[in-house]
Structure 1
Amino acid sequence: MSEQGLSIDVNGVRTNYHDRGDGPPLLLIHGSGPGVSAWANWRTVLPVLSERWRVVAPDILGFGYTERPAGAVYHPDAWLAHLTGFLDALGLDRVSVVGNSFGGALALRLAVEAPERVDRLVLMGSAGVRFPITPGLEAVWGFEPSLAAMRALLGWFTFDTAGLADDLATIRLAAASRPGVQEAYRRMFPAPRQAMVDTLAVAEDRVAALPHRTLLVHGRDDQVIPLSTSQRLLDLIPDAELHVFARCGHWVQIERAARFAALVGGFLTADARPRPHAMMSR
């Protein structure tokens, strides 16, 4: 498979997505790093998860190979409309959802605004609550294309870059430099970028009313989205559990791919309702 997958019309926007496997539908929502796409974000776990679920993973409006219409507004309401339109276009009434970082904030918003459409919820290194913007997130959203800047971002994203592919920075830089991509990216995350952190946040009283079983996953050493965000979500969501990976940064799905896929698989198939708690993996 490659970054370019299938194409579907979502409210007039040509949307790139991946659709793999059979079984209960599982929606994967990617993060907001420069050069990101559904495939770049989820390639390490999509083959495993698609053995048991029908996994659908779109490039969100403005990202990847999804169309960037002239005059598009990049705002959580627009991204949510694109997500729900995507589910409608595929005829999916109810899905379990895995959201990463920015995608976690969108998954949380989907669960709050359309709770009937969400079965179980997995939030990994998730935004969606208020926090003081980190230097790592400033570097991510303030990215200007260069190989040096992309290599530096990999250091923000991961605990140890030694395990990454040697050419990953070059690949992500090429994706971030395609025509129109960086222009859209600047429009999404202008300074002061704390404003987007706050805009992505969901009202805490609504989060506290969520009925969904929720798995929170975070790298202890995340320099982009602080662990405190998942700890706050654990406090708020009535039926939640938190799994923390030590010696792991923001890219749990890449740094701990096998463990993450197994953890998500176990959570999605568990029948017994877990007691809310926190765990640490080393």
Structure 2
Amino acid sequence: MSATETTTPPEVGLRVDVDGIGTNYHRAGDGPPLLLVHGSGPGVSAFANWRPVLPALAERFDVVAPDVVGFGYTDRPDGFPFTLDAWRGHLLGFLDALGLERVSVVGNSFGGALALSLAVHAPERVERLVLMGSAGVSFPITEGLDRVWGYEPSVAAMRDLLDLFAFDRSLATDELARMRHAASVRPGVQESFAAMFPAPRQEGVDRLATPEEQLRGIRHRTLLVHGRDDRVIPLESSLRLLRLVDDSRLHVFGRCGHWTQIEHADAFARLVTDFLGAP
């Protein structure tokens, strides 16, 4: 490779125009359509969030995983309102752009809040729900989530956050911290990130919450997944969703933090595949 050549980062996938927003996404597999919606950690992207489980899920499903506006390699239009309504509108536009009428949705953390919003406001577009360490209900903000949303870029700060995400600290390597830090300081990324959840960050939790009376109206079959040792989104949030969403069930992984899809990738992929494939 010459000095002028560059390699394309693995986070860069396909691209589609969504109402004027160039949207980066990954697609793999064949079968019933499955939308994966990532979380809100600094430097996150669809690829970073879902790479451990995407190949296994693609064995049974047509998997699509976009970078939500403000994250990854999707455009960041000036003045885009970082709100639940705007993010939901972008996801619906993304599905329209790909010609996907109805999908099952797997939402991680922040992505779980978006999945719940889709189920409430566009129920005809959603088949089944999988909510992993999900936001979407109000809870007193944890110290961990406050640290995540308050991230100030440095390799050391990113390493501290990785230790927070994972129960198994061996997963939080220096190499991964450097990679995620580099992603977090790409042009425009930190500016968008800082604008999404400014202090006081309890307001960010509340703005992602769907009113409980609307959650009680969800009729989609729903799987809740949570790490028992999650220090970012409390297990209580999934227990509350279990009480609110009528056709729901909960799987809790012990010795697991906020990274269920990474710390227990094989088991998580089997769990999701079995749930979505069950009659």
Q: Give TM-score, length-normalised by structure 1.
A: 0.95
SS at match of 2:115: helix
Residues 1:17 and 2:25 are matched in the alignment = yes
**Identity, % of aligned positions:** 67
Q: Which residue of 2 aligns with 1:58?
A: 66
Distance in 1 (alpha carbons) for counterparts of 2:177 and 2:211: 36
Letter in 2 for 1:63: F
The yes-or-no answer on 1:131 pairing with 2:153 is: no
Q: What does 1:157-168 align with in structure 2 at a 5 Å threshold?
A: 157-168=165-176
Confirm whether residue 179 of structure 1 aligns to residue 182 of structure 2.
no
How far is the alpha carbon of 1:161 from its aligned partner?
1.5
Quote the offset at 1:19 in angstroms. 1.0
CA contact (8 A) 2:108 2:132 kept: yes
Deviation at 1:166, TM superposition (A): 4.3
Q: Distance in 2 between matches of 1:43 and 1:170?
A: 18
Q: How does 1:1-282 map to 2 (within 5 A)?
A: 2-271=10-279
Q: Which 4+ runs in 1 deviate beyond 6 A?
A: none
Q: What is the deviation of 1:2?
A: 1.3
CA RMSD of aligned residues (A): 0.9
Structure 2 Cα separation of the partners of residues 163 and 4 of structure 1: 23
- 1:258 corresponds to which letter in structure 2? D
Return the alpha-carbon distance in structure 1 between the equivalents of residues 271 and 178 of structure 2: 31
Contact 2:163 2:172 in 1 (8 A): no
| CA distance in structure 2 between the partners assigned to 1:197 and 1:171 by the alignment | 27
Aligned residues: 271
Q: List alignment gaps of at least 5 residues for structure 1.
A: 272-282
2:4 corresponds to which residue?
A: none
Any conservation in 1 of the 2:228–2:256 contact (CA below 8 Å)? yes
Query: Which ranges of structure 2 fall in alignment gaps of 5 or more residues?
Result: 1-8
TM-superposed deviation, 1:163: 3.1
1:24-62 CA-to-partner distances (Å, cap 9, x unmatched) read 000000000000000000000001000110000000011
CA distances 1:163-208 after superposition (whole Å, capped 9, x unpaired): 3454110000000000100001111011011001001000111111
**C-alpha spacing 1:143/1:164, structure 2 compared with 1 (3 Å):** closer
Classify 1:165/1:232 alpha carbon distance in 2 versus 1 (closer, same or farther; 3 Å).
Answer: same
SS at match of 2:231: coil
